[in-house]
Amino acid sequence: MGLHGLASVTIGVPNLDATHAYYTDFGLAPGEQGWLRTTDGGDQLRLVSRPYRQLVELVVRVADHDDLVRTAAALGRIGISCVLADDELVSTEPVIGTRVVLRVSAVLDQRVAPAVGYNGPGRVERAGARAPGVLRAGPVRPRRLGHAVLGTTDLELSKRFFVDGLGFKVSDYIGAQGVFMRCSSEHHNVLVLAAPVNFLHHTSWQVDDVDEVGRGATHMLEGRPERHVWGLGRHYAGSNFFWYLKDPAGNFSEYFADMDCGIDDQLWTPEVFEGNEGLYRWGPPPPPSFLHPDDLAELMIGSHAGG
């Protein structure tokens, strides 16, 4: 696969300073020219001022220039325009309106996280010592951007753009309501969901393990219980541990760990999940606001006013 993961997202928000402070608290570090950085992925989140929350730009890593040429031809075959210049291809998702950039980039080489010994019945991997997870004291720092989830008013056209145009692979389906897609060997990097309005549902940020998921969320909720959305739990599609929080603009942000990866495009068979079947394996049930965010009506009004 010529595609190899997400490089960055640009999110438009109406309350720039408050949202920037939230993601700094979330564990992202200040970068160059207003960007926010992960420890392994570098500058991966940019916030810009917009009248309502939206995903403004999505940047995808690509192996080489030939991949851009092939993508330009594929987009042309489905009637979507693009601009190819030097080591970038720029197009616009035809339903949601997000600017999508494919950029020739080196494969992300992540620092290996040390293995954590978990004891179990008849299995002692950590003898005579407290678990490292309970001894950690520093702030949780997301390692990289993992995926973005988007609501779309035309699921089939959004899927065609990502799959037939850009070359994403389908991993699983949520009935006729959603498509998990990957641009790497990880289970999903983009999920599109049928919705009454186009919007950004959440971005997801990798941490080392379930202890970091819990530590990060615990920190975020200290004195700010209104940030809680859903968690702790484990998804079925993707298998990852999760905890979702809400930023001041209304976007959800997820700490995740232990995602299914190493997927072989030739051997993987997508499944179709119905209802909550593929949503989670264990954890509290998702609140209604997770599936239908409270501000959807406002977003419908804002998108019509803005466009």
Question: Residues 28-40: pLDDT tens digits?
Answer: 999 989 999 999 9
Residue 116 belongs to a domain: no
Residue 197 belongs to a domain: yes
- Please give the Cα distance from 225 to 245 (Å, whole number): 10
Q: With 90 as the cut, is the pLDDT of residue 12 above it?
A: yes
Phi, psi for 273 (deg, rounded to 5): -105, 145
Residue 127 belongs to a domain: no
| Partner residues linked to 271 by β-bridges | 172
Q: With 90 as the cut, is the pLDDT of residue 274 above it?
A: no
Higher pLDDT, 199 or 291: 199
Question: Residues 130-150: pLDDT tens digits?
Answer: 888 888 999 999 999 999 999
Query: Domain span at residue 176?
Result: 3-108+142-306
Indicate which CATH number applies to the domain containing 85. Answer: 3.10.180.10
Residue 55 belongs to a domain: yes
- How many domains does the chain contain in total? 1
The pTM of this model reads: 0.95
Higher pLDDT, 274 or 83: 83
